[in-house]
Chains A and B, each alone.
Chain A
Amino acid sequence: MRRNRYRLVVDPVACDGAGVCAELLPELISLDPWGFPIIVPGGVPPALVDMGRRAVVSCPRLALHLVRVDD
């Protein structure tokens, strides 16, 4: 099995809870009672990396980041 080489990171200062990320990537992102994203721990499975990238570029506040996990 391939390891998860990326993880999603939210910049909580930039994030204003638009919720676009959770719409695009419900497998990994849910929303708290106030509309702010909660990321599933454990990194991004390889099959979801492309969707992760889409969520990153779609964030109106550029608050979502896809970060390489250090080896």
Chain B
Amino acid sequence: MTAPTGPGRLLDGIRTSDVVRLDAHLARWGGLPDVPARGLLEAVDQAGLRGHGGAWFPVGAKWRSVAAGRSPIVVANGAEGEPASGKDRLLLHHAPHLVLDGAAVAAKAVGSKRVIVHVCDDSVADVSAALSERERRGVDPCSFEIVVAPDRFLSGQESAVVNTVNGRHVGIPSFVGLRPVREQGIGGRPTLVQNVESLADVALIARYGPDWFRSVGTHDSPGTALITVTGLWETSRIVEVPLGTTLGNALGITPERAAGIQAVLLGGYGGGWLPTATALALPFEEEAARASGTSIGAGVVVLLPTGVCPLVEVARVARYMEGEGAGQCGPCVNGLDVLASQLELLADRPQSLRSGLSAFPTLCGLVEGRGACHHPDGVARFVRSALGVFADHAALHLQRGPCRTTRPFLPAPATSDALR
């Protein structure tokens, strides 16, 4: 039951065929130590753990705020609506007990007896098998139930999770500007919605303590991150990297390999594009990413190969994101549609864009900060960064017309009409 010393923690020693059952889990990590709630809060605070769902909010601060309320509810969130992310599903498949341990710790820390495991359809079998094992052993002092997340981009958003569990406006965010979910969420109770990877980290912090946790990563972003990398291998792969390391080093990308990468998308469809050299040299952690105009989000890394028209990809994703909007807020409903239409023109019929690229910054500004959730802000960041990184390519489109059609590269599933 030794603490992992290398950069691999959550996935330490796990092979692709492994599912860690409860016996193996307890043999590897041991049971959870009996620490009082206050000690758990302090450990998570001192560890400096930040949320891996995409916002990188300090976990300890969120816990304290939820713990201040009466009979809070904990949600282990593995909805993972982002098409280019697979890390939460992978974790729930291979190491569900780390996540459930973390959820039990969180529940104890904030004074909750009820944990909801909110996961997409793919993960239900993994989680229910793990929960039956735990129930037979009677390892948990809290109750667990599974709620299935609808298959859409926004379903993991905090207030959307609350709506799904409450059974009203399933998968749709609410305006929580006056009363945050941590004060009033599921059934009106204070609700802690925590990403499953953060909870797996909690399971190890509870066992090995904050100093161990901080032995990898940076001061502001300690620990590791599970990242989903698309464009480096035949299929997407999930890798655990120490936070703060450069992507180039973490992924072992040689200069020859880098030459075949046109640009890098960090943080998924609410993140932003960077030139390849910048992205590979950037310390992989949220502050550095934000300073470069992007975000590491939920750990999505897409290496766009040369030979693909980036503007076609950007337009397709913008249209997908428009379709995935909740359809509730005027600026987002109207603005994303116009933005996607203009990007489609730039990609396919650039000669008909009479004012060139000048409309884009204004359109982005018209949607930023004006939704109930951050969906429009993410799209604006995605588009702004694309027009910066692909400025030369856009100029070529305006001068010479569109590229020849290439096979779609970025995953953007069709939005179901039933959800619109």
A50 to B331, CA, bound (A): 27
Q: Given A12-B175, A12-B330, output 8 extra A-B contacts at Cβ < 8 Å.
A: A9-B177, A11-B178, A12-B331, A12-B370, A12-B372, A16-B330, A33-B334, A67-B178
Q: Are B177 and A11 in contact (CB under 8 A)?
A: yes
Q: Are B372 and A13 in contact (CB under 8 A)?
A: yes
Residues of chain B from 172 to 202 with CB closer than 8 A to chain A in the complex? 174-175, 177-178
Min CB gap A5→B, angstroms: 17
Binding site for A on B (CB under 8 A): 174-175, 177-178, 328-332, 334-335, 366, 370-372
User: In the complex, how many residues of chain A place their beta carbon closer than 8 angstroms to a beta carbon of chain B?
Assistant: 16
Please count the residue pairs between chain A and chain B whose beta carbons lie under 8 angstroms apart in the complex: 45
Residues of chain A from 2 to 49 with CB closer than 8 A to chain B in the complex? 9, 11-17, 32-36, 38
Q: Are A11 and B330 in contact (CB under 8 A)?
A: no
Q: List 23 A-B contacts (CB under 8 A).
A: A11-B175, A11-B177, A11-B178, A11-B372, A12-B175, A12-B328, A12-B329, A12-B330, A12-B332, A12-B371, A13-B328, A13-B372, A14-B175, A15-B330, A17-B330, A32-B334, A32-B366, A32-B370, A33-B334, A33-B366, A36-B330, A65-B178, A67-B178
Contacts of B366 in A (CB 8 A): 32-33
Look across to chain B and name the residue whose beta carbon is closest to the beta carbon of A38: B370
SS of A interface (majority): loop
Look across to chain B and name the residue whose beta carbon is closest to the beta carbon of A14: B175
Contacts of A65 in B (CB 8 A): 178
Closest 8 CB pairs of A and B: A12-B329, A36-B330, A34-B334, A11-B175, A13-B175, A13-B328, A13-B372, A12-B372
Contacts of A34 in B (CB 8 A): 330-331, 334-335
Min CB gap B168→A, angstroms: 13
Contacts of B334 in A (CB 8 A): 32-34, 36
Contacts of B328 in A (CB 8 A): 12-13
Contacts of A12 in B (CB 8 A): 175, 328-332, 370-372
A36 to B175, CA, bound (A): 16
Contacts of B178 in A (CB 8 A): 9, 11, 65, 67
8 Å CB contact of A36 from B177, B370, B372: B370
A17 to B366, CA, bound (A): 14
Contacts of A38 in B (CB 8 A): 370
A11 to B247, CA, bound (A): 39
A17 to B334, CA, bound (A): 12
A12 to B333, CA, bound (A): 11
A50 to B371, CA, bound (A): 26
Contacts of A16 in B (CB 8 A): 330
| Residue of B175, B335, B372 contacting most chain A CB atoms (<10 Å) | B175
Look across to chain A and name the residue whose beta carbon is closest to the beta carbon of B331: A36
